[in-house]
A and B are shown apart, each in its own frame.
Chain A
Amino acid sequence: MERKLLTKDSYKLLISKIISGKYQLVAPVKVDALVDFRRIKSADEITEDYIVTVSSAKSVAFPRNEKLFGFEKNNKKLEQTDFDFDSIPHTVLLGVRPCDAMGFASLTSIFCWDSVDKIYTTRLERTIIIGMSCAKADASCFCTSVKGNPGNTAGNDLLLTKTPDGDYITEIVTEKGAKLVAEFYELFREDKGAEKEPLLANVPEVFELDGILAKINSKFDDEVFWSEQAMRCLGCGACAYVCPTCACFDIQDESHGKTGQRVRCWDSCGLSLFTLHTSGHNPRQNQGQRWRQRLMHKFSYMPDRLNTVGCVGCGRCSRACPVDMNIAEHLKSIIDN
């Protein structure tokens, strides 16, 4: 893979040039005590002080709420205003962790399953992903258990790895990444060939993925197992909101008088109303069944139907859980039980 070097000064310059150019720049910033992705206006807003951001980077391609189209009603007539594809901004997404970058492949497999969701794909096509390797990890990280690693290039267009001097080894992963480097070629130097591996965090493997994939289907009917697993689950859905691969959504209408819009917004299989029929019947009646759906969707249905695992090991769900459910431990117990 072709490499370049971006000095710390050129890095700041690159950010300024991106901001003043045709792109909007989304990067990690401090929001009170947390670090999250925001659109930024100056290089000084960016922080590098995070293991992972609170929310994943998925909202660049799959926003939390988005208008699918607008409408206007006039007596018996209805007019619709289609989604404006031209309005999708050209974005540079900076500081994405390798786990998050890998998550886009999972989302794409869902949004392109037979029928292509052009709203999602156009957003992703117009996004250049500049990843940042992980120099630090914490106890919730388990990317190495799901075929990722702290310096994984997959899903990134460019991947930066910070050297002890404060410069950035720049790996050019895709054509899109190469184009961005070409656009700002004067900022990039020849790479000195520093080794990347010693600069990366150590993320121990917590479980063997193949073991889970092989065993999880046989656990489907074990109701006691799932209800014990979900015993303290509150069904709040926080895990799905922070997840880089959760794609489940709701479609709702909003209207004010004659005009309105149809909106897509994030949803979660952990919420009790998610599958509730109007009749009162609910195919997933208890939290054990809903937790089972969460794990089986990611580790059975997606591998089986879409040839991708729906988990990148970022550990956000474990960090966000108000009752401290740790997904890696729950997965491990599938092998152990």
Chain B
Amino acid sequence: METQNIYLPYLMEIEKISEEAPFVKTFRLKFINPEDAESFSFRTGQFGEYSVAGVGESTFCIASAPTRKGYIECTFRKAGSVTTALSDMEEGSTLGFRGPYGNVFPIDEWKGKSLLFIAGGIALPPMRSVIWNCLDLRENFKDITIVYGAKSVADLVYKEELRLWDERPDVKLVTTVDPGGETPDWKGEVGFVPTVLDKLAPKSENTIAIVCGPPIMIKFTFPILEKYGFADDMVYTTLENRMKCGFGKCGRCNVGKTYVCKDGPVFSLKQLKQLPDEY
């Protein structure tokens, strides 16, 4: 795509749609123009603007790993007008994508360390990119633990991948659902993510924790990590704020002088603690 117009999206074909949970879908997207596919690259943690022509653009992370070439994936919940229109699209349809934007998870710096992923609900998608990225480079890391919780069994996303991770001897997976969200044959934990994490008593030594979830989960998870000795620069998260452009011009996503689109979306807890309360 030869253009000087930074607002013109790539055209992407929806190759595959997966139903993840009620109102939650994953799209596998392929570049329609082969030259775009050739020149495009991204790193884990980055996001994009996905659009339905005539309805508008919406911001989500790229949920697939950069190690999986030839496509990108996004997972979204039907919530506003754009995600509703996306939800109505069929395989083979064309949508727009701008990106990649934002910074990345510093996985090169994590070499030789253990990784503890903690996610809640619809916040697994941004983390799924970095999980698969690290699993595809498995020899670079020591222990990999994933703690994932959702309101109910039905609300767990990527059920097939949870099974794959569970089967791997080199991954420890703990899944949980909120009390009352379990089914009779549920074999995972029952309880909120911070409680389950506390029970797990994670070792902080030489370990990076990556946390992503609803604000309430984050709020109660950080103190647990602190209790087990995780330093603020060993904990990472990814922020979301409303955006229009994705590259520091439209004026929406800044938290004080920090722009989520340019300085983020990935922040360490150390950086997060320096941000004003505006996210």
* Set of chain A residues within 8 Å of B255, measured between Cβ atoms: 283
Given contacts A82-B3, A275-B241, A276-B242, contact A115 B247 (CB under 8 A): yes
Beta-carbon nearest neighbor of A119 in chain B: B5
Q: Mark B53-95, 1 if CB is under 8 A from A, else 0.
A: 1111100000000000000000000011001000000101111
Question: What is the CA–CA distance of A231 and B5 in the complex, to the nearest angstrom?
Answer: 41
Question: What is the CA–CA distance of A2 and B164 in the complex, to the nearest angstrom?
Answer: 75
Q: Are A117 and B278 within 8 A (Cβ)?
A: no
A253 interface neighbour in B53, B245, B247, Cβ under 8 Å: B53
| Interface set, chain A 278-337, CB cutoff 8 A to B | 278-279, 281, 283-284, 289, 293, 296-297, 300-301, 304-305
Q: Are A279 and B79 within 8 A (Cβ)?
A: yes
Q: Mark B26-70, 1 if CB is under 8 A from A, else 0.
A: 000000000000000000000000010111110000000000000
Beta-carbon nearest neighbor of B85 in chain A: A253
A40 within 8 A of B: no
Q: How many residues of A contact B (CB 8 A)?
A: 52
CB distance from B272 to the nearest CB of A (A): 14
Q: Are B92 and A76 within 8 A (Cβ)?
A: yes
B256 within 8 A of A: yes
Question: What is the CA–CA distance of A301 and B93 in the complex, to the nearest angstrom?
Answer: 41
* Set of chain B residues within 8 Å of A69, measured between Cβ atoms: 5, 7-8
| Interface set, chain A 114-140, CB cutoff 8 A to B | 114-119
Q: Are A110 and B249 within 8 A (Cβ)?
A: yes
Question: What is the CA–CA distance of A253 and B244 in the complex, to the nearest angstrom?
Answer: 12
Q: Are B7 and A284 within 8 A (Cβ)?
A: no
Q: How many residues of B contact A (CB 8 A)?
A: 45
Given contacts A82-B3, A111-B249, contact A278 B79 (CB under 8 A): yes
CB distance from A180 to the nearest CB of B (A): 26
Binds B, one of A47-55, A156-164, A261-269: A261-269
Given contacts A73-B53, A301-B256, contact A251 B251 (CB under 8 A): no
- Grouping DSSP codes into helix (H, G, I), strand (E, B) and loop, the B interface class, with mixed when no group exceeds half, is loop
* Set of chain A residues within 8 Å of B253, measured between Cβ atoms: 275
Question: What is the CA–CA distance of A114 and B6 in the complex, to the nearest angstrom?
Answer: 12
Q: Mark B198-235, 1 if CB is under 8 A from A, else 0.
A: 00000000000000000100000000000000000000
Beta-carbon nearest neighbor of A254 in chain B: B54
A78 within 8 A of B: yes
Given contacts A76-B92, A78-B11, A275-B242, contact A68 B278 (CB under 8 A): no
CB distance from B58 to the nearest CB of A (A): 9
Given contacts A278-B79, A283-B279, contact A269 B251 (CB under 8 A): yes
Given contacts A255-B53, A283-B241, contact A80 B249 (CB under 8 A): no
A9 within 8 A of B: no
B273 within 8 A of A: no
* Set of chain A residues within 8 Å of B51, measured between Cβ atoms: 253, 262
* Set of chain A residues within 8 Å of B245, measured between Cβ atoms: 249, 251
Q: Are B257 and A82 within 8 A (Cβ)?
A: no
Q: Are B249 and A113 within 8 A (Cβ)?
A: yes
Question: What is the CA–CA distance of A221 and B277 in the complex, to the nearest angstrom?
Answer: 9
B181 within 8 A of A: no
Q: Are B244 and A250 within 8 A (Cβ)?
A: yes
B250 interface neighbour in A116, A119, A248, Cβ under 8 Å: A248
Known: A114-B262, A117-B6, A289-B278. 19 other contacts (CB 8 A): A68-B8, A69-B8, A73-B53, A80-B11, A114-B247, A115-B247, A119-B5, A220-B256, A249-B245, A253-B55, A262-B7, A274-B242, A274-B252, A275-B241, A276-B242, A296-B256, A297-B254, A300-B257, A301-B257
Listed in ascending order, the chain B residues whose CB lies under 8 Å from chain A are 3-9, 11, 51, 53-57, 79-80, 83, 90, 92-96, 215, 240-242, 244-245, 247-257, 259, 262, 276, 278-279
22 contacts between A and B (CB under 8 A): A68-B5, A68-B8, A69-B8, A76-B92, A78-B53, A78-B95, A82-B5, A82-B8, A110-B249, A118-B6, A250-B244, A251-B250, A253-B51, A275-B242, A278-B79, A278-B83, A281-B215, A283-B241, A289-B278, A297-B251, A300-B257, A301-B254
Listed in ascending order, the chain A residues whose CB lies under 8 Å from chain B are 68-69, 71, 73, 76-78, 80, 82-83, 85, 110-111, 113-119, 220-221, 247-253, 255, 260, 262, 264, 267, 269, 274-279, 281, 283-284, 289, 293, 296-297, 300-301, 304-305
The 7 A-B pairs at the shortest CB distance, nearest first, are namely A248-B251, A255-B54, A78-B94, A278-B80, A118-B4, A68-B7, A301-B257
